[in-house]
Chains A and B, each alone.
Chain A
Amino acid sequence: MSAIEYPPGSRVPEVAAIRARGVKVGYRGAVVWHDATFEVGRGEFVAVIGPNGAGKTTLFRLLLGIQRPMAGSLEVFGAPPRRGSPRIGYVPQRHTIDNDTHVAADVLVHLGVSGTHLGPEFSIGAARRATAEALAAVGASELGSKPLGAMSGGELQRIFLAEAISGRPEMLLLDEPLSNLDMRRTRELVELVHGLVRSRRVTTLLVAHDINPLIECLDRVIYIANGRVANGPPEEVLTSASLSELYGVPVEVLHDSRGNIVIVGGENPHEKGDA
């Protein structure tokens, strides 16, 4: 390999997007995972994979500053996570939007722009432009006036994505955006997110159950299981040897003719509940 070349004009060396050193996390003394040491570079597209209850959402809560590590150090853009940072856009797993939510979608995206501000909105024009821009970026301009309660799962995910990017964040945390989507909508959403990652160079962590729809776009996989965190490029993490070490039991990674991955033997029967 030759010496690393930086494109002209860029500042070097850049602070990592995420830097974790021996992080231990849990709730009320119960450790969810520990000894997590990893780094995520700026502009990387990262899948967070692992069985239910392994602590994938917990990782997001740490990065959002809602929860603190029990031990170790965690840095986001070179500083400890701070709740309410405008540099992070977040799409949680939703439960509150249902058929009865008769509110136009662009209201939600608009709140993503200026929803935390107090008092009357004086710069409403700028906020409206940012809203329209975010909706356009996810290809949902025509959905802006549709009620949230009348939307399909795929439409909702695009609106949530627009809400998350409306403040022009440098990092996106997407919690299970692909669950409840059929194959076509899954592919559409993955392409959309991938496009945003590349065009805006926004560091993106996406929690998913199934790695296969993502595998071609990923720079990195964070695999959380058995109280531990493995991390690296997909071809390094998603191997029989690496996952067997992570789980502590023999695990096999199989590939089909089209490059799809099947992980056999990894599901730990002791894992339970969503964390």
Chain B
Amino acid sequence: MTAGFSWNIVTDFRDIWNYAFMRQAYEAGTIVAILAGIVGYFVVLRRTAFAAHALGHVGFSGAAAAVVYGVNPVFGLLVFTMGGGVGMALLGRRASTRDIEIGTVLAFMMGLGLIFLSLYKGYATEAYSILFGDIEGVSVSGVYLTLEGAIVVLIVLAVIYRPLLFSSLDEDVAEAKGLPLLALNVVFMLLLAVAISFAVQVVGILLVFALTVTPAATAVRITKRPTYAVMCSVAIAIVAIWAGLFISWWPPYSQYPPSFFIVTISFVIYMLARMGSYLSDRFAHRFAPSVDPAPVPKSSS
């Protein structure tokens, strides 16, 4: 049985890991943190946060459909998010107009979700765990599935890393240099769909942002080097998940869902980074005044 919280973190973790479901939660959570942390960097760089949000919701329809037909909800999530992602990528080719196409696909897919919900006569707990996550309910086979999905995503990312970075940062030049923007966008949306589907297991659809956007948004404030930012983003996601699970294990916090702590920690780190960058800006301005002289007023000629 639980020995109760001690200040010795090592024995605390040993204590927690005596329980298979908690081991699985930590395993799945870590894999998802790596996946979401890396993909999240590109979400921030490409400004497709709305797509991440929309794919989560699209996934809800998929999970609802899977539950209606008695299939593992993860497969419903994967099929719907991947389908929705490809649809969004094909319709919204340019970053400047993408949001409108995403919203259109989102609305349609949510309509489908409504149909499946109305067909579904089961318990509300299923829907609840899809909406807010059920990390402590991940099975051994769920962990393996997550691992397999993550490996595929990471291999693809390792191959297309530079072209994806190029097209995310500088669409027009990347296109002129011969990169296939549409194909890259489709592939990226598929990777995002997989990351979202597995992240939903951990924090649920409504909180999926906390793993796919917040850690990366924090990382880009900490470092301006893409490789460091990716590592930083992964580290933040891991800290949030590990600490969130840890806190929610001990009474009196064990009555609250771990998702809440994961999201809160992720947000607190983000706010700290914002505060840090604000302070360092002020600090830099006070001690190192800009050497750039005031711009010459624009002539009217």
Contact = CB atoms under 8 A, between A and B. Distances in A.
B224 A183 contact: no
Contact of B169 (A83, A107, A145): A107
Interface string B144-178: 00000000000000111111011001111111111
B176 A108 contact: no
B95 interface: yes
Contact of A121 (B162, B224, B297, B299): B162
Nearest to A118: B159
| Contact count band on A | 35 or more
Given A83-B176, A102-B221, A118 B163 contact: yes
A120 B166 CA distance: 14
Contacts of B166: 111, 115-116
Interface in A71-118: 83-86, 88, 90-92, 94-97, 101-104, 107-108, 111-112, 114-118
Contacts of A115: 162-163, 165-166, 174, 177, 179
Nearest to A105: B224
B170 A183 contact: no
Contacts of B292: 152
Interface in B70-105: 95-96
Interface in A123-177: 145, 147, 152, 163-164
Contacts of B45: 103
| Contact count band on B | 20 to 34
B124 interface: no
A242 to B, nearest CB: 23
B17 to A, nearest CB: 34
A119 interface: yes
B225 interface: yes
A98 to B, nearest CB: 10
A108 B221 contact: no
Judged by DSSP, the binding face of B is: helix
Given A145-B224, A182-B295, A184-B296, A108 B169 contact: yes
A104 B226 CA distance: 9
B299 A183 contact: yes
B226 A107 contact: yes
Which has the most chain B C-beta neighbours within 10 Å: A88, A108, A147? A108
B191 to A, nearest CB: 15
B286 interface: no
A88 B165 CA distance: 21
Contact of A84 (B96, B160, B178, B299): B178
A117 B96 contact: no
A42 B276 CA distance: 52
Interface string B130-154: 0000000000000000000000000
B121 interface: no
Contacts of B158: 119-120
A64 interface: yes
A241 interface: no
Contact of B224 (A66, A147, A163): A147
Interface string B224-239: 1110000000000000
Nearest to B221: A102
Interface string A7-47: 00000000000000000000000000000000000000000
Contacts of A83: 175-176, 178
A114 B226 CA distance: 15
Contacts of B226: 103, 107
B298 interface: yes
Of all A-B residue pairs in the complex, the 8 with the closest CB atoms, nearest first, are: A84-B178, A115-B166, A92-B172, A104-B224, A90-B176, A182-B296, A111-B166, A102-B220
25 contacts: A64-B176, A83-B178, A85-B178, A86-B177, A88-B176, A90-B177, A96-B170, A96-B171, A96-B172, A102-B221, A107-B165, A108-B169, A115-B163, A115-B165, A116-B163, A116-B166, A116-B177, A118-B163, A119-B158, A120-B158, A120-B161, A121-B162, A163-B170, A182-B296, A182-B297
